[in-house]
Structure formats: C-alpha cells, structure tokens
Amino acid sequence: MISKQEKNSTFATKIEKRSKNFMINRVLLRIKIIQILYSFYKGDGKSIPLAEKELFHSIERTYDLYFHLLQLSVEITNYASEKIETKRNKLRPTPEDLNPNTRFIDNKFIRQLAGNVTFNEYLTKQKLSWVNNQDIVKELYADIIKSDFYLEYMNAPEADYVADKDIWRKIFKKIILQSEDFDTSIEDQSIYWVDVLEIVISFVIKTIKRFDMENGINQPLLPMFKDEEDAEFARKLLRGVLTNGAEYRKMIDEHTRNWELDRIAFMDILIMEVALSEIMDFPTIPVNVTLNEYIEIAKNYSTEKSGTFINGVLDNIVNQLRKENKLIKVVMFPN
C-alpha cells in the first residue's frame, strides 16, 4: 500500500507539472480555499472580507515558503563552510582538517543562487531567516553527508554545474522531503505551511532544474501567479461558497439520503461545496475537469474512500441540475 507521504509527493508532482512558469496554480488555489473554509466553519465564522483577506495572506505565506526553502540550501552550505573553518582553526588540526574537500561548499549553483537579485530582495523584504532554526539545519547536514549520493558527488573525479544542481535536487527529494523532523519544524514555523511542504519542494526542485549559469545573478525565479485571472478565480470561488454554502449543503443532503450528514466526513462535505460552487459559478470550466480536480484533492486530504464517494454524489447532483436546466456551460474555442 502506498504511504501517505508517497501519495502526497505524487500529488505534489502533478501540481508542479501543471505550473509552467509560475508557482501558485489553480490546483493549489483550490486546496488553499478548502483550508481557509475549514477554519472559517470550525472557527467563529468571520466575515467574507476577512476570509478573503486570510486566503490571500495564506497564499503569500506559501510563496514565502518557496523562498525560505531555497534559502535553506544556502544556509546548509554556509553551515558546512563554518564546520570546515572550525576544523582548520583547531589547536592541532590534522592534514585532512587543513586540506578538506570543499566541493560541497564551492557548489556553483549555490553561489549563483546566493547572489540572485530577486532572491535577496525577497528575503530582505519578507525578513526570512533560519537563524532561529539552526538545529534542523545541522540535522539535515548530518543526514546529507551520510547519504550515498553525497559521497559519490564528493568523490567524483570532477564536478560541473550540472552535477552541482543535481546534488541539490537529490537533497531536497531524498533528504529534506523525507525528514519528519523537518516537516515538524516547518509546521512549527508557520501554520500556513502545514500540508503544503511537498508541493512547494516540488517547485523548488523545478526551479533548480531551470537554473542556467549564463543567467548569473539575474536567473528568473518562479513568480507567484500566472496572471490576475487566477487571483480573481480564487476570490470568486471563495465568495461563491460562503454566499451559497447553505444551498450547496441542501443539494448534498438531498443526494445522500441514505447517509446522515453528521456521519459524513466534514472535509468531504466541504470539498463537495467548493466543487459545486465551481460548477455553478464558472461556466467556462468543464464539469469533468472540476470533478476530477476535487476527487483528486479528496484522495489526498480526506479519507481513502472519499474520492469514490464524492464522485458518486457530485455526479448525481450534476445530472439532476442538467435535467432541471440549471447548469450552464460555455464551450470555449481557441482563437
């Protein structure tokens, strides 16, 4: 059976592939909306404007995590450099202490990233730092130097820019992503980073792949949105659920008569509400696209059987809406 971590990693890869030149795509927006609505309904029921403000704050903090993780690679490298200097300055250094293998700290990709204009401007603006989380930096470095791929990298006859990028792709995928302690550290640092670590790491790996030495300090990083249209999609979808949620819950109740609503997972009901809002309020998005998106989300954020259950309920509701001519979809043709 596939583990939850492997499942989330697979889902993260699917999200990453959907975003070509930007980070926050509609899959991630849907997830963020569900998370905000969960807090909204379980909390004290803030106003719609406050919920919208919270949504976009959450999105911005997710973008912070993207830079914070890139920053982590520089931080780990700096820590490795400090360890080398400490050994060199020992009272009785060994020949190995005086002549260490510096391939890891001389990594060309890290040097390029550390000097990146966009990277440094963002870190300064958002005041992102690992200063208060040095324990996890040290732990990750200890895990890195014990790995087979690190030893292979350090002992290779020569290293080039491609190898320097590849080592960090492996570090993020095989060390950082797999570390439960790191997962806990990230969640402790910000409530907005819960459940999105795998997704954001996939974008970090994508960024590393895109680095080109010729771009120097001006290497482009991923922007937050593709365009304002995606931001408006998020705003409209959130408002649609908060405005018409009672109507959508009534539809769900009518098509789950053999179930008591209080016995259905709350997350399942919430996912169906958001799906119905998208089906009703976005005529250019095909129904099958919407259904597939939320079924996939349900598989990763609710119970094992949620995907099949939600698919059946929503399919029945859609058929009923069509019979009553309440479902309008516009077919878009390319120019």
pLDDT per position as a tens digit, 16-60: 555 556 678 888 899 999 999 998 888 766 788 999 999 999 999
Question: Which residue has 């991923």 as its token pair?
Answer: 222
The whole-angstrom separation of Cα 29 and Cα 101 is 44
Q: What is the predicted pLDDT for the residue at 176? A: 97
The whole-angstrom separation of Cα 196 and Cα 58 is 11
Please state the domain extents for the chain. 4-218, 243-323
The whole-angstrom separation of Cα 105 and Cα 213 is 17
Q: What is the predicted pLDDT for the residue at 93? A: 83
Residues 231, 281, 11, 197, CA torsion sign = positive
Looking at residue 322, its amino acid is: R
**What are the pLDDT digits (tens) for 56-90?**
999 999 999 999 999 999 999 999 999 999 888 88
pTM: 0.85
Q: What is the predicted pLDDT for the residue at 15? A: 52
Low-confidence ranges of the chain (pLDDT < 70): 1-22, 44-45, 260-263, 330-335
Q: What is the predicted pLDDT for the residue at 8? A: 47
CATH of domain 243-323: 1.10.940.10
Residue of 64, 154, 76 whose CA lies nearest to 110: 76
The whole-angstrom separation of Cα 124 and Cα 267 is 38
Q: Are 48 and 243 in contact (CB under 8 A)?
A: yes
State how far the alpha carbon of 88 is from the alpha carbons of 84, 92, 139, 147, in Å.
6, 9, 22, 24
Question: Which residue has 């993207």 as its token pair?
Answer: 66
Helix ranges restricted to H, 255-325: 266-281, 287-301, 306-323
